Amino acid sequence: GENVEQHPSTLSVQEGDSAVIKCTYSDSASNYFPWYKQELGKRPQLIIDIRSNVGEKKDQRIAVTLNKTAKHFSLHITETQPEDSAVYFCAASISPGGNQFYFGTGTSLTVIP
Q: Which of 21, 25, 44, 80 binds another protein (CB under 8 A)?
A: 44
**How do beta strands 107-112 and 86-93 pair?**
antiparallel
Q: How far apart are the first and last CA of the chain?
A: 41
d(CA 21, CA 6): 7
Amino acid symbol at 91: A
Q: Which is nearer to another protein, 49 or 78 (CB)?
A: 49
Q: Which is nearer to another protein, 38 or 78 (CB)?
A: 38
Q: By CB under 8 A, tell whether 3 contacts another protein.
A: no
In DSSP terms, 7 is beta-bridged to 22
Q: Which of 60, 70, 96, 113 binds another protein (CB under 8 A)?
A: 96
Q: By CB under 8 A, tell whether 106 contacts another protein.
A: yes
d(CA 40, CA 16): 22
Question: At closest approach, how far in Å is the CB of 4 from another protein?
Answer: 8
- Of the candidates 82, 94, 68, 90, the residue with the CA atom closest to the CA atom of residue 20: 90
Q: Which is nearer to another protein, 53 or 60 (CB)?
A: 53
Residues at the contact surface with another protein, assessed by CB under 8 A: 1, 6, 9, 32, 34, 42-46, 49, 51, 89, 91, 93-106
